[in-house]
């Protein structure tokens, strides 16, 4: 396993861990707030699911768009924002009775999850970009034509790339940049 693969796996596991803990804490806070404000029985335990479930659904929509390098639906961003505001708000209401520190502690799980999720989104976007670049026939041809090219300075000149691959100046620059980054 390469170090990049290990880093991606550790980051993904970290996001899952943060999400699990944040979800449990946020759910418990939500149930407490719902019950305190008159929602009992089944509805009292379902309210937090609608809030955090909305965050999860919107997040999965955004994740899917990132994986497919597609535009994220505007509605997903709106719903994610509304869900984050609602979950942070409910968590803060739960912590209000414990002073400023209680507010911060109660809000933290939702904020931590949002940050962790954004880190995961960046990884997914970068992975999709790498996959797209590596599948590009021009870059596949460049890897074949210049197997010795690497990031340690052993990169062919623009003239050599243009001549070997029969490409324009701009394509040759793209290939050189790609080969240098490998």
pLDDT tens-digit series, residues 127-140: 766 666 666 777 76
The fraction of the chain above a pLDDT of 70, given in percent, is 91
Given 3-state DSSP classes, what are the helix, strand and coil percentages for the chain, each rounded to the nearest 5? 85, 0, 15
Which comes out higher in pLDDT, residue 31 or 3? 31
Q: What per-residue confidence (pLDDT) applies to 101? A: 94
DSSP letters for 147-176? TT--TTS----HHHHHHHHT--HHHHHHHH
Q: What per-residue confidence (pLDDT) applies to 132? A: 61
Q: What per-residue confidence (pLDDT) applies to 1? A: 55
pLDDT tens-digit series, residues 27-39: 999 999 999 999 9
Burial label, 90 (beta-carbon count in 10 A; 0-12, 13-18, 19+):
buried
Q: Are 100 and 92 in contact (CB under 8 A)?
A: no
Any residues with CB less than 8 A from the CB of 15 and at least 6 apart, and which? 116, 117, 119, 120
Query: Cα(81)–Cα(54) distance, rounded to whole angstroms?
Result: 10
- pLDDT of 169 over the 70 cut: yes
- pLDDT of 63 over the 90 cut: no
Query: Cα(1)–Cα(131) distance, rounded to whole angstroms?
Result: 17
pLDDT-derived band at 113 (thresholds 50, 70, 90) equals: confident
pTM above 0.75, yes or no: no
Q: What per-residue confidence (pLDDT) applies to 128? A: 67
């Amino acid at each position: 396993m390469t170090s990049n693969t290990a880093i991606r796996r550790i980051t993904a596991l970290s996001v899952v861990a943060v999400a699990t803990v944040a979800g449990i804490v946020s759910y418990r806070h939500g149930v407490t707030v719902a019950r305190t404000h008159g929602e009992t029985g089944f509805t009292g335990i379902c309210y937090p699911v609608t809030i955090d479930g909305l965050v999860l659904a919107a997040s999965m929509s955004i994740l899917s768009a990132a994986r497919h390098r597609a535009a994220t639906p505007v509605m997903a961003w709106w719903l994610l924002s509304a869900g984050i505001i609602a979950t942070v708000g409910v968590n803060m209401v739960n912590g209000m009775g414990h002073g400023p520190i209680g507010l911060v502690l109660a809000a933290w799980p939702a904020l931590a999850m949002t940050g962790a999720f954004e880190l995961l989104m960046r990884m997914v976007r970068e992975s999709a970009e790498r996959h797209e670049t590596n599948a590009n026939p021009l870059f596949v041809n460049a890897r074949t034509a210049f197997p010795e090219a690497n990031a340690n300075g052993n990169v062919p000149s623009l003239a050599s790339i243009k001549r070997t691959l029969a490409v324009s100046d701009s394509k040759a620059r793209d290939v050189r940049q790609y080969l240098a980054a490998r």
